[in-house]
């Protein structure tokens, strides 16, 4: 039984309202999600330039593991090293407790996620890059380390 | 030989460009011979790409290290199966492989439509050839897979060890198949817009292709998850990495299309929406390739920037402009008078399912590009990680699961109170009983609880559909129960195959919810004979063993697993050190049951002290992820299998084709 013209218009409105409610819900979830879970991502040089304002923040910093700076204690799983620019400049101390990532070694590019405290970064995750030769195939996932 | 490959690619580009021009000209001026000529050009493109691919494969298998690609992605000690996989292991090879699939599908589409869809075909061919022109241009002008090294390498650098894994052999081809076959529905949508034949003909013609593409995207995503789970050793299977999201977004939109196209067929509504979904799916496959290739979004993956990004963005803009322009031009003709009548109807359930799926795709897209956007707008890169995606998508996923239970059982147009009672009394009761049982079992209230209870509700509606259909046949046709069930499914393959797919989806939801909510993690540094506890398991580190061959050396920690005072398994997580790209990798050891996986990682080994650090994860219900995938694949096969009537039609056409024509 076909609807009358009036009922049809009313219906269209109801569906537009329904769809708008869903869109609003999705937008709210995205907005709230970003507000509560986002963090800064800096190159090391950017980080060094702004670090005074970042005390206590949890963030990600990308840099290179400085040559000769790594110390690793197999008994306690404590890893300490300095994150620096590619040529070893402006080093920032990093402390991490956990599994030493497979591809972590001196001179490698890494991303450190952690809290910036007096004296350095307390890392909760260290992400190593793939070797530069590696172009990932579509859909592969990131090699990652830490937890 | 490589020069021949290069020549084949160049010629293929010329033929493809001709195919575009001849197709469009033949279609606009209605010249049948031009259209046939365009189709023949497309066949030639396929032949040439086959030749080029064969030559690259031959070079890989013969370890021809004069080629840059062969030297970069294989070595003389690489096992043969991975040497074959190196064909798509690197960027250049993967672009060639993409072209191969695209031209293969073009060929199949043209053969299928020799006598059908003649008005649409010129533009279908022209669209597919336009995509081919793009990929072939990259191979000819930007990134040549047949590039020679100035000096031949003595040995190859080898394929990345992480890719030397059997899941990695089938995961990329599967995903590529899904990506590339999405071009076919796209080409038909463009052809429908170009010709103004906007009815159901094009959607019917691409029904199988859309399903095919969707099935391979599903498979590719699951295989990728499986690979990540087994190889990467961080205890999980999905990390919301941009590269994963790239494959997930087209899947979401494609899923939406498969549902909403049913409303178009049944009620002649949502034509515009369906065209948009098909265009969007294709655009997202190009965007996904862009993400994985460009390094614009810093995935932990792709620190290497390949310089292909601008080309993909250019092509994407071109696609969106052309498709958007055509859509705007045909918009008045696409509108149909039919409207929704009630919220309580199947079409409304499907519509909301669509909005939620597209909403999830939007959220994933937003989270993925947010670092770039924030850098543009605020000058600071801000990233969001898995917590963002989980928070946003968990509630949306629950809504989706609920709708999967409502959609199959509710009436079209307007559900009467009687229909609602009849359709949902049983399943709702089942869901409530399940919730009570969960509460008694002290499952904490939360997403996992809700997922399990809703899952039972969904299975309830599906089971009821099967049961009632079977009983009806038994009563009317006096068939035995198995026969009635078989016939029921056989005569309504799409419907019941779809229900089976939903059973697989429920299984996957349960796996995701369970493994996220109840996962246990433990990490300890042990000396031989020491024990640690992970959930209900006791783990004893016995000893370490090592072994070495030409390709790699391995170090394994032998761990005995105890539960309730009995030894139930011995596991040996490993570290491997590959020799060519000097790199250690982690080999997970797993004891997998339907209830949970015990997942062990050898974190580190300290030779002087003999200390090892073990990471243990107890991941509940993960097996149901893979089981769900198998069920989905089975359901898809049921859905796509030709019905008896279709088989007769095909036999008829084949018979006609054998009669000498004209």
Count other C-beta atoms under 10 Å from residue B268's C-beta: 13
Residues from chain B contacting residue A40 (CB–CB below 8 Å): 380-383
Res. B310 pLDDT band, cuts 50 70 90: confident
CA distance A82 to chain B (A): 20
pLDDT in tens, A50-60: 888 888 888 99
- Pick B359 or B644 by higher pLDDT: B359
Contacts of B582 in chain A (CB under 8 A): none
Q: Is the pLDDT of residue B155 over 70?
A: yes
* Residue-wise pLDDT tens digits, B201-224: 899 889 899 999 999 999 999 999
Q: pLDDT digit string (tens) for B389-404?
A: 999 999 999 999 999 9
Task: Give mean pLDDT, residues B109-119.
Answer: 92
Among residues B408, B427, B278, the alpha carbon closest in space to that of B350 is found at B408
> Does the beta-carbon distance from A142 to B303 stay under 8 Å?
no
% of chain A surpassing 70 pLDDT: 82
Residue B580's contacts (CB-CB under 8 Å, 6 or more residues apart) are: B75, B77, B155, B156, B157, B158, B551
What is the residue-wise DSSP string for A25-37? Answer: HHHHHHHHHHHHH
- Using the beta-carbon criterion (under 8 Å), do B232 and A142 form an inter-chain contact? yes
* Euclidean distance between CA atoms A98 and B614, whole angstroms: 10
The ipTM (two decimal places) reads 0.81
Smallest Cα distance from B260 to chain A, Å: 15
Tell me the β-bridge partners of B620.
Answer: B596
Whether the per-residue pLDDT at A75 is higher than 90: the answer is: no
Predicted pLDDT at B295: 59
pLDDT at residue B419 in the model:
87
Q: Write the CB contacts of B199 (distance below 8 Å, at least 6 apart in sequence).
A: none
Which of A141, A146, A147 is most worth mutating to test chain B (most B CB atoms within 10 A of its CB)? A141
Q: Please give the residue that has the higher pLDDT: either B583 or B416.
A: B416
The answer to whether A15 contacts B247, with C-beta atoms less than 8 Å apart, is no
Determine which of A75-79, B21-25, B252-256 has the lowest per-residue pLDDT on average: A75-79
Residues of B with Cβ-Cβ distance to A60 under 8 angstroms:
383
In which element (H, E) is residue B256 found?
helix B242-267
Q: How confident is the model at residue A135 (pLDDT cuts 50, 70, 90)?
A: very low
pLDDT score of B270: 87
Residue of A nearest to B607 (CA): A74
- Residue that has been written with the tokens 């859509």 in this structure: B327
Does residue B56 have a pLDDT over 60?
A: yes
Instruction: Note whether B248 and A141 are within 8 A (CB).
Output: no
Which of A11, A29, A30 has its CB closest to that of B340?
A11
The pLDDT of residue A87 is 87
In this structure, of B190-194, B216-220, B582-586, the range with the lowest mean pLDDT score is: B582-586
CB A84 within 8 A of CB A90: yes
More confident residue, B656 or B132: B132
Q: How far is B148 from chain A, CA to nearest CA, in Å?
A: 17
**Angle between helical axes of B271-294 and B346-378 (0-180°, round to 10):** 40
Q: At residue B305, does pLDDT exceed 60? A: no
pLDDT at B159: 80
The mean pLDDT of A11-30, rounded to a whole number, is 87
Report how far apart, in Å, the C-alpha atoms of B37 and of each of B19, B31, B51, B359 are.
Answer: 8, 10, 21, 43
Nearest chain B residue (CA) to A101: B603
> For residues B582 and B267, which has the higher predicted lDDT (pLDDT)?
B267
Judged by DSSP in three states, B190 sits in helix
Angle at B528 between CA B526 and CA B531, to 5 degrees: 55
**Predicted pLDDT at B548:** 87
Residue B655 has pLDDT above 80, yes or no: no
Using the Cα atoms of residue A102, residue A107, residue A108 and residue A109 in order, give the sign of their dihedral: positive
- The pLDDT of residue B172 is 87
> Is the CB of residue B94 less than 8 Å from the CB of residue B180?
no
Quickly list DSSP for A96-143: EESPPPTT--TT-EEEEEEEEETTEEEEEEEEEPPPTT--PPTT----
Nearest CB neighbour to A100, from listed B235, B300, B604: B604
Judged by CB atoms closer than 8 Å, whether chains meet at B224 and A39 is answered as no
| B13 Cα to chain A: minimum distance (Å) | 24
Cβ-Cβ contacts under 8 Å between A and B: the total is 226
Over range B279-287, report the average pLDDT: 95
Angstrom distance (rounded) from CA B589 to CA B615: 11
Q: How many CB atoms within 10 Å of residue B201?
A: 15
Q: What is the mean pLDDT of residues B477-483?
A: 90
A95 has a pLDDT exceeding 50: yes
B572 phi and psi angles, rounded to 5 deg: -135, 80
- Calpha distance B232→B226 (Å, rounded): 10
Task: Look at residue B298 in the predicted model and tell me its pLDDT.
Answer: 57
* Burial of B481 from C-beta contacts in 10 A (0-12 / 13-18 / 19+): exposed
CA distances from B491 to B203, B350, B642 (A): 21, 23, 10
* Phi, psi torsion values for B239, nearest 5 degrees: -125, 10
Q: Region A57-73: what's the mean pLDDT?
A: 89
Q: Nearest residue of B to residue A36 by CA position? A: B388
Contact B345, B411 (CB under 8 A): yes
Residue B342: closest CA among chain A residues belongs to which residue?
A11
Q: Is B222 helix (H, G, I), strand (E, B) or coil?
A: helix
Q: Token digits for B363?
A: 């959220």
Per-residue pLDDT at B505: 97
Q: In which band, very low, low, confident or very high, does the pLDDT at B304 lie, cut at 50, 70 and 90?
A: very low
Tell me the C-alpha distance between B407 and B403, whole Å: 6
* pLDDT score of A139: 34
User: Residue A140 pLDDT > 50, yes or no?
Assistant: no
Rounded CA separation B643/B123 (Å)? 29
Name the more confident of A134 and B207: B207
Q: Are A144 and B232 a contacting pair at CB < 8 A?
A: yes
What's the token pair of residue B283?
């655009």
Pairwise CA distance, residues B345 & B423, whole Å: 12
Distance from CA of B83 to the nearest CA of A (A): 15
Strand partners, B574: B556, B587
Q: Tell me the shortest Cα–Cα distance from B78 to chain A, in angstroms.
A: 16
What's the mean pLDDT in A25-37?
A: 90
Q: Return the structure tokens found at B403.
A: 């709708």
A-chain residues near B615 (CB < 8 A): 99, 147
Element (H or E) spanning B654, and its range?
helix B644-658
Q: What's the pLDDT band for B658 if we cut at 50, 70, 90?
A: low
pLDDT at A137 over 60: no
Q: What is the mean pLDDT of residues A35-41?
A: 87
d(CA B203, CA B200): 5
What count of residues does chain A have? 147
Residue B76 and residue B99 in contact, taking contact as beta carbons nearer than 8 Å = no
Q: What percent of chain B is modeled with pLDDT above 90?
A: 64
Task: Please tell me which residue of chain B has the smallest CA distance to A126.
Answer: B300
Lowest mean pLDDT among B296-300, B417-421, B494-498: B296-300
**Strand extents, DSSP E, B393-504:** none
Pairing of strands A39-43, B381-383: antiparallel
Closest by Cα among B95, B81, B78 to B146: B95
Least confident interval from A16-20, A47-51, A98-102, B122-126: A98-102
Q: What is the per-residue pLDDT across B159-173, written as a single tens digit (0 to 9) for each?
A: 877 778 788 788 889
Question: Which pLDDT score, from 0 to 100, does residue B231 have?
Answer: 85
What pLDDT is recorded for position A136? 39
Q: What pairing do the DSSP bridges indicate for beta strands A39-43 and A58-65?
A: parallel
pLDDT of residue B186: 97
What pLDDT sits at residue B156? 85
Q: What is the mean pLDDT of chain B?
A: 90
Which candidate, B542, B545, B240, B255, places its Cα nearest to that of B386? B240
- CB-CB under 8 Å, B306 with A135: yes
Please indicate whether, in this complex, the C-beta atoms of B243 and A12 are within 8 angstroms of each other. no
CB atoms within 10 A of CB B36: 16
What's the DSSP call for residue A67?
T
The predicted pLDDT at position B109 comes to: 96
Give yes or no for a contact between B32 and B115, defined as CB atoms under 8 angstroms apart: no
Residue B63, helix vs strand vs coil = coil
What six digits make up the tokens of B215?
Answer: 């099935």
B10 DSSP assignment: H
Q: How far apart are CA B522 and CA B587, in angstroms?
A: 18
pLDDT of residue B661: 42
Nearest residue to A94 via CA among A78, A81, A106: A81
β-strand partners of B613: B525, B604
CA dihedral B527→B528→B533→B537, nearest 10 degrees, is 160
The whole-model pTM stands at 0.91
């Amino acid at each position: 039984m076909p609807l009358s013209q009036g009922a049809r218009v009313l219906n269209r409105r109801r569906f537009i309202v329904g769809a708008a409610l869903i869109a609003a819900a999705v937008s709210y979830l995205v907005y709230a999600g970003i507000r509560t879970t986002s963090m800064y991502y800096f190159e090391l040089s950017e980080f060094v330039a702004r670090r005074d304002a970042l005390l206590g923040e949890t963030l990600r910093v990308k840099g290179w593991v400085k040559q000769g700076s790594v110390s690793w204690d197999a008994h306690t799983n404590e890893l300490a090293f300095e994150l620096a620019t590619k040529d070893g400049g402006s080093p920032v101390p990093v402390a991490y407790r956990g599994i030493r990532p497979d591809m972590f070694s001196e001179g490698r590019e890494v991303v450190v996620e952690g809290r910036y405290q007096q004296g350095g970064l307390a890392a909760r995750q260290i992400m190593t890059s793939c070797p530069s030769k590696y172009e990932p195939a579509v859909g592969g996932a990131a090699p990652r380390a830490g937890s | 030989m490589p020069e021949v490959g290069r020549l084949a690619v160049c010629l293929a580009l010329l033929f493809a460009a001709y195919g575009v021009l001849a197709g469009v000209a033949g279609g606009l001026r209605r010249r049948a011979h031009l259209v046939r000529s365009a189709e023949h050009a497309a066949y030639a493109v396929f032949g040439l790409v086959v030749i080029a691919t064969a030559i690259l494969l031959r070079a890989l298998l013969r370890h021809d290290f004069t080629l840059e690609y062969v030297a970069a992605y294989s070595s003389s000690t690489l096992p043969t199966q991975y040497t074959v996989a190196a064909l798509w292991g690197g960027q250049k090879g993967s672009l060639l492989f993409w072209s191969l699939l695209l031209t293969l599908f073009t060929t199949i589409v043209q053969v299928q439509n020799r006598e059908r869809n003649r008005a649409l075909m010129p533009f279908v061919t022209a669209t597919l050839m336009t995509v081919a022109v793009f990929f072939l241009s990259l191979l000819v002008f930007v990134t040549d897979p047949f590039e020679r090294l100035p000096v031949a390498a003595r040995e190859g650098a080898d394929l990345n060890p992480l890719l030397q894994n059997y899941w990695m052999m089938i995961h990329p081809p599967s995903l590529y198949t899904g990506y590339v076959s999405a071009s076919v529905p796209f080409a038909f949508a463009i052809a429908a817009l170009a010709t103004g034949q906007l009815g159901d003909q094009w959607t019917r013609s691409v029904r199988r292709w859309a399903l095919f593409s969707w099935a391979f995207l599903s498979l590719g995503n699951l295989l990728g998850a499986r690979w990540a789970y087994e190889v990467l050793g961080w205890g999980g299977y999905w990390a919301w990495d941009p590269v994963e999201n790239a494959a997930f977004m087209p899947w979401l939109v494609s899923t939406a299309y498969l549902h909403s196209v049913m409303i178009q067929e049944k009620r002649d509504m949502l034509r515009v929406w369906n065209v948009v979904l098909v265009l969007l799916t294709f655009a997202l496959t190009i965007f996904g390739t862009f993400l994985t290739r460009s390094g614009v979004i810093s995935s932990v993956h792709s620190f290497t920037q390949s310089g292909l990004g601008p080309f993909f963005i250019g092509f994407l803009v071109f696609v969106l402009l052309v498709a958007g322009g055509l859509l705007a031009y045909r918009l008045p003709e696409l509108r149909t008078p039919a409207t929704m009548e009630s919220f309580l109807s199947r079409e409304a359930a499907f519509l909301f399912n669509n909005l939620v799926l597209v909403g999830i795709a939007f959220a994933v897209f937003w989270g993925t590009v947010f670092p770039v956007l924030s850098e543009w707008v605020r000058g600071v890169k801000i990233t969001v990680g898995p917590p963002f995606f989980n928070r946003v998508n968990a509630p949306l996923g629950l809504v989706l699961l609920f709708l999967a239970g409502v959609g199959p059982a509710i009436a079209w147009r307007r559900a009467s109170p009687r229909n609602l009672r009849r359709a949902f009394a049983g399943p709702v009761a089942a869901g409530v009983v399940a919730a009570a049982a969960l509460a008694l079992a002290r499952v904490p209230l939360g997403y996992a609880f809700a997922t399990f209870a809703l899952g039972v509700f969904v299975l309830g509606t599906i089971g009821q559909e099967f049961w009632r259909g079977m009983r009806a046949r038994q009563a009317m046709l006096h068939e035995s129960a198995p026969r009635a069930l078989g016939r029921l499914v056989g005569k309504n393959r799409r419907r019941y195959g779809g229900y089976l797919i939903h059973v697989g989806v429920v299984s996957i939801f349960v796996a995701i919810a369970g493994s996220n909510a109840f996962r246990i993690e433990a990490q300890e540094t042990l000396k031989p004979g020491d024990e640690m506890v992970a959930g209900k398991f006791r783990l004893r580190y016995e000893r370490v063993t090592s072994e070495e061959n030409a390709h790699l050396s391995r170090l394994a920690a032998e761990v005995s697993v105890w539960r309730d005072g009995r030894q139930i398994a011995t596991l040996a997580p490993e570290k491997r050190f590959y020799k060519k790209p000097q790199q250690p990798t982690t080999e997970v050891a797993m004891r997998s049951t339907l209830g949970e996986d015990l997942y062990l990682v050898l974190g580190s080994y300290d030779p002087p002290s003999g200390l090892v650090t073990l990471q243990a994860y107890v991941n509940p219900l993960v097996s149901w992820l893979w089981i769900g995938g198998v069920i989905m694949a089975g359901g898809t096969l049921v859905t796509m299998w030709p019905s008896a009537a279709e088989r007769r039609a095909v036999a008829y056409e084949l018979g006609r084709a054998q009669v000498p024509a004209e």
